[in-house]
Every structure is written in C-alpha cells, then in structure tokens.
Amino acid sequence: MARYTACSRISNHELFHVNPVSRLVDYYFQTNTSSRSERVTRSVAAHIGEARSLLDVGCGDGNNTLKLAQRIGATRVVGVDVLVREKTYIEVRPYDGLHIPFDDRQFEVVTMLDVLHHCGDPEQVLREAMRIADRAVVVKDHFAFGPVSRTVLYAMDVFGNRKFGVASPGTYFDFPAWVRMVDRAGGRIAAVEWPLALHDMPWRLVGWPELQFTAKILPVRA
C-alpha cells in the first residue's frame, strides 16, 4: 500500500477557515454538488445494472445511496459509516473503519464512493468489501499522476469534507498501484470508466476528468 503525505504540511484549519475559502466552499456546494452526484450515480449504476441488495460503505447521510438503489432496483439498502449522522435516508450502521459488520456475501453489490482515499488502511477496507459482496464491488475514487495532481486532490478533499468532519489523509494511488492493491485485496478489475467528467465549469478546471474514475471489481473466490 502506498501512502502519500507530501501535501500534509498544508494545514486543513488554514485552508478551511480563511473567509474567502469558506465562501468558495459554500459556493461549490450551491453550484455543483447535485450535478456531480447525478453523474457519479449514473456511472456507478451502469457498472451494476440491476441488483437486489446494496451495501454502501462510507454512505454519509445515505441520500445518494437511496437514489442509486432506486435506479438499480435494490430493495435491501444499508450503509455503514464511521460517523453516523443524526438524519439519514437509509439504515446506517456504525463501523470502525476497518471491519465491516456483516457476514460473507451478504449483499449482491457493495459500493464505496470517494471512500478509499480517506481510509487509514484502504486495502483492508477493500478486502472487507470483497468478502461481503456476492457479485461485485463498485468504487468511485481518484487517480494521481504526480505532485501537482496530488496537491489538487488534497485541496479538493479538504474543501469538500472539512464541514462534515471527514479526515483527509492524502492517500492517493496511480493506476499501477491501484491494480496491485485490488489484486492483493482479492479482486479483479472488470471495467473502468476513466476519465470521468463530474464537475461543471469552472470547477472542472480544478477537478480534472483525468483525476476521476469508477471501477467494477469482481471478488476472486478461492
């Protein structure tokens, strides 16, 4: 597993609490979040097709999970998160960020949308998702290509997640590292949508499509 911390010298507190930056974050959520969520949902649903049961790891309030479930026809919809919010749109259970509290192959599909790069041990979390998924794990995450892209991704994570209290450790992978991690976690990449244009202008100038991808991963059973 590769961990990149070169950007950690940028203070989350400094980035978020400068007034112009705070206003910029608010403007982002007002102008871009809905269209971005719809594009992520559409891409993930295309990988899944139809599924009867869905577990979303790191689901937040579950609003986007519910929309995905409705699109793929899932009737059993559950989420897990390390921070369970007061108001949720689906059943959300707490987990410790490493061990997902379900037995093997309990859900047809497991999703993890912009989650793995926030994990202290992304390989372990991916391995857990493979264990629980009966058919497939679908991931939305980032590819990094060098120091500039890592800095951009780190800043985007801080801006987008600080208001929710989500840690941004700066863990990003290039494509070869991703493939190796999936293999070690017991999966096989079946499909990738990349580059993935998620943001409207002017945000697309920062959140480049080349940084975004979705992938369908099949569990490899012994």
**Cα-flanking dihedrals φ and ψ of residue 41, to 5°?**
-60, -45
Q: Report the first-to-last Cα separation within the chain, whole angstroms.
A: 22
What does the block give as tokens for 111?
A: 């999703």
- Whichever domain contains 197, its CATH number is 3.40.50.150
Asked whether residue 4 is domain-assigned, the answer is no
For residue 53, how many other CB atoms are within 10 A of its CB?
18
Report pLDDT for 163.
61
Asked whether residue 187 is domain-assigned, the answer is yes
Report whether 171 contacts 117 (CB < 8 A).
Answer: yes
Token pair 């209290």 is at which residue? 165
For residue 127, the enclosing domain spans 12-219
Closest CA to 58 of 167, 158, 152: 167
Asked whether residue 7 is domain-assigned, the answer is no
Report pLDDT for 128.
98
Report pLDDT for 111.
98
Report pLDDT for 113.
97
Sorted by sequence, the CB contacts under 8 Å of residue 160 that are 6+ apart come out as 25, 28
Give 10-residue mean pLDDT values along the chain (222 residues): 35 46 51 76 98 97 97 98 95 96 98 93 97 98 90 80 68 93 97 90 68 96 80
Element (H, E) at 34: helix 33-48
The region that residue 58 occupies, defined by phi over 0 for left and psi between -120 and 50 for alpha, beta otherwise, is: left
Asked whether residue 59 is domain-assigned, the answer is yes
**In the chain, how many domains are there?**
1
Asked whether residue 54 is domain-assigned, the answer is yes
